[in-house]
Chain A
Amino acid sequence: MATARRSALATMRSLITPEGVDLQIKLADAGTRAAAFLLDVVFIATAAIAVTIVALFGVRGLGSDEMQPLFIVWIIAIFFLRNVYFIAFEAGRRASTPGKRIVGIRVASRNGAGLSVDQVIARNLMREIEVFLPLSIIAGRSGMGVADTLTTVFGLVWALLFALFPLFNRDRMRIGDLLAGTWVVEAPKRTLMEDLSARQDPVAKTFQFSHAQLDAYGIAELHKLEEVLRRDDYFALRAVAETIGRKIGSTPQAHDARPFLTAYYGELRAHLERKLLLGNRKADKYQR
Chain B
Amino acid sequence: MSAPVPGDAVRGDAVRQSLASFRREREADWKAFETLLARVEKRAPRALSEEELLSLPLLYRSALSSLSVARATSLDSALIAYLESLSLRGYFYLYGARRGLRQRVGDFFLHDWPGAIRDLWRETLVSVALMFVGIGAGAWLVASDKGWFDAIIPSGLAAGRGPDASAELLRTMLYDGDNGFLSGFAAYLFTHNVQVAILAFALGFAFAAPTVLLMLFNGCMLGALFQVYWAKGLGMELGGWLAIHGTTELFAIALAGAAGMRIGTRIAFPGELTRMTAAAHAGRVAATAMVGVSVMLLFAGLLEGIGRQTITSDATRYAIGGGMLALWIGYFYLFQMVRNGDR
Instruction: Using CB atoms and an 8 Å cutoff, list the residues of chain A in contact with chain B.
Output: 15, 17-19, 21, 23-25, 68-69, 71-72, 75-76, 78-79, 83, 93-95, 106, 108, 110, 112-119, 121-122, 125-126, 128-129, 133, 175, 178-181, 187-193, 195-198, 208-214, 219, 222-223, 226, 230, 248-249, 266-267, 269-274, 276-277
Instruction: Name the B residues within 8 Å of A76 (CB-CB).
Output: 187, 191
Chain A residue numbers with a CB within 8 Å of B30 are: 192
Interface contact A180-B76, CB-CB below 8 Å = no
State which of A72, A128, A187, A191 has its C-beta within 8 Å of the C-beta of B183.
A72
**Docked pose: A249 CA to B2 CA in angstroms:** 11
* A108 and B12 contact, Cβ closer than 8 Å, known pairs A21-B64, A119-B284, A181-B283: no
Distance in angstroms between the alpha carbons of A106 and B77 in the assembled complex: 23
Residues of B within 8 A of A276 (CB): 72-73, 75
What per-residue 1/0 map shows which CB atoms of B218-242 lie under 8 Å from chain A?
A: 0000000000000000000000000
Q: Give the docked Cα–Cα distance between A156 and B27 (Å).
A: 52
Roughly how many angstroms separate A21 CA and B60 CA in the complex, as a whole number? 12
Interface residues of chain B: helix, strand, loop or mixed (majority):
helix
Task: Tell me the bound Cα distance from A33 to B107 in angstroms.
Answer: 32
Contact code string B290-302 (vs A, CB < 8 Å = 1, else 0)? 1100000000000
In the bound assembly, the distance between CA atoms of A192 and B284 in angstroms comes to 39
Residues of B within 8 A of A222 (CB): 75
B157 close to A (CB within 8 Å): no
Contact B181 A75 (CB under 8 A): no
Chain A residue nearest to B81 in the complex (CB): A190
- Residue from A195, A210, A211, A270 within 8 A of B79 (CB atoms): A195
Question: Are A274 and B15 neighbours in the complex by a CB distance under 8 Å?
Answer: yes
Residue of B nearest to A75 (CB): B187
Is B40 within 8 A of A122, CB to CB?
A: no
Residues from chain A with a CB closer than 8 A to the CB of B265 are none
Known: A106-B92, A116-B97. A21 touches B288 (CB 8 A): no
Chain B interface residue bracket vs A: 35 or more
B130 within 8 A of A: no
Given contacts A72-B187, A83-B194, A192-B31, contact A17 B284 (CB under 8 A): no
Query: For window 11-36 of chain B, which residues contact chain A by CB distance below 8 Å?
Result: 11-13, 15-16, 19-20, 23, 27, 30-31
B187 and A71 contacting across the interface, CB-CB below 8 Å: yes
Given contacts A21-B67, A195-B23, contact A271 B76 (CB under 8 A): no
Q: Which residues of A contact B336 (CB under 8 A)?
A: none
Query: CB < 8 Å: which of B78, B95, B191 contacts A193?
Result: B78
Q: Judging by beta carbons under 8 Å apart, are B78 and A72 in contact? A: no
CB atoms of B284 and A210 under 8 A apart:
no
Beta-carbon nearest neighbor of B97 in chain A: A114
Least CB distance, B266 to chain A, in whole angstroms: 10
Nearest-CB distance from B49 to chain A (Å)? Answer: 18
Query: Contact: B202 with A126, CB < 8 Å?
Result: yes
Q: How far is the CA of A211 from the CA of B187 in the complex (A)?
A: 78
Q: Judge whether B144 is part of the interface by a CB distance below 8 angstroms.
A: no
Chain B positions 39 through 83: 1 when the CB is less than 8 Å from some CB of chain A, otherwise 0? 011000000000000000000010010011000111111110110
